[in-house]
Amino acid sequence: MADPDARFEALLAKFRERDHRITPQRLALLRLLAASEGHPSASQIHEQLHAQFPTMSLATVYKTLNLLKEMGEILELGFGDDDNRYDANEPFPHPHLICIRCHKIIDPEVPEYRALAHEVAATSGFRVVSHRLDFYGICPDCQRLEAG
Amino acid sequence: MADPDARFEALLAKFRERDHRITPQRLALLRLLAASEGHPSASQIHEQLHAQFPTMSLATVYKTLNLLKEMGEILELGFGDDDNRYDANEPFPHPHLICIRCHKIIDPEVPEYRALAHEVAATSGFRVVSHRLDFYGICPDCQRLEAG
DNA sequence: GTGCTTGCAAACAGTTTGCAGATAG
DNA sequence: CTATCTGCAAACTGTTTGCAAGCAC
């Protein structure tokens, strides 16, 4: 995706814009999110930040993530069983491909998926405002391990 | 969907087949699931059964639902925030249309959705085994209430 | 200085589990 | 009779909240 530094600056600008205070904890969290390629969970984020800030609490991670969610700057992926995952690089609904073995999440290219939402709206009378398109399977790496 | 009685008999047959005991509580639960048009939650199921069985506990509802899930006879829809919903009529992944106002869930006709899974599998190298296609919006009834 | 933010601990909600007594087969 | 099932209550997990102390501005 785009330049991590640019994304970090954009997130920071949004914080200032809305008069949210810039604390060292928040700076570190924004930097981490902007740089992350994957879809980290709250506790994974907490774990990493705890290395830099030994007093960093999970509650602060959640509070900041919720702030970002309200601001529309991150996408929260909730799962029934597993913990939530966060995507700060594409904070709008898009398809996901989830490995049921290693829990890796990737963003596949599915150009036609937008057409589906339109069709569903047209035939059902719903005003569709969001969606969730998740495909579950076994990623190439885990297939290799199984075969080996 | 199909005949509720037929579905009830089919579920019952599966129970016998696997040597699971047929208790009055389970009978009532199977009957309710087979007859339900919607996507009830565990506590909605419990509420209804409690009328017939004043001692019926939520734990028993969950235990029986989990049994059915293992047997592949119901589809469990987990949501991060709201409670799980269960569908015993189409126990395989299929698209859902969820009203964010009244929490109604319906099964839209989306004939092309299967093609998506194939394409995702082909371009990503994943072996896709399941999926979750949910569209969130406002149902015609709730749109009418808003407009009124 | 003001009041937002932090971090701890307790609360929360839905689901699961342990166990003693009840019951289907 | 015996193993499974029930129902209560307690445990569990991820997330949220209340509050006193700390810090950004």
Q: What is the pLDDT along chain A (148 residues), one digit of tens a residue?
A: 578 999 999 999 999 999 999 999 999 999 999 999 889 999 999 999 999 889 899 999 999 999 999 999 999 999 877 899 999 999 999 999 999 888 889 999 888 888 888 899 999 999 999 999 999 999 999 999 888 7
Q: Are residues A120 and A75 in the same domain?
A: no
CA B108 to chain centre: 14
> Per the structure, how many domains does chain B have?
2
B14 and B83 co-located in one domain: yes
Q: Are B139 and B101 in contact (CB under 8 A)?
A: yes
Asked which of A87, A109, A135 is the last residue of a domain, the reply is: A87
Query: Rounded CA gap, B57 and B119, in Å?
Result: 45
Instruction: Judge: A97–B120 Cβ closer than 8 Å, yes or no.
Output: yes
> Can you give the residue range of the structural domain that contains A100?
96-147
Q: Is B148's pLDDT higher than 80?
A: no
**B113 vs A contacts (CB less than 8 Å):** 116
Domain boundary among B61, B87, B113: B87
Last residue of a domain, one of A55, A87, A119: A87
Same domain for B53 and B102, yes or no, is no
The CATH number linked to B141 is 3.30.1490.190
Chain B residues with CB under 8 Å of A84 CB are 80
What are residue A76's DSSP bridge partners? A86
Tell me whether residues B127 and A112 touch, CB distance under 8 A: no
Burial A113-135 (b: 16+ CB within 10 A, else e): beebbebbbeebebebeebbbbb
- CATH number of the structural domain spanning residue A58: 1.10.10.10
Q: In this structure, are A78 and A16 located in the same domain?
A: yes
List the single residue in A with minimal CA-CA distance to B82.
A80
Separation between the CA of A59 and the C1’ of C8 (whole angstroms):
9
The stretch B79-90 carries a mean pLDDT of 90
CB spacing of A135 vs B123 below 8 angstroms: no
Tokens of A34: 């902007």
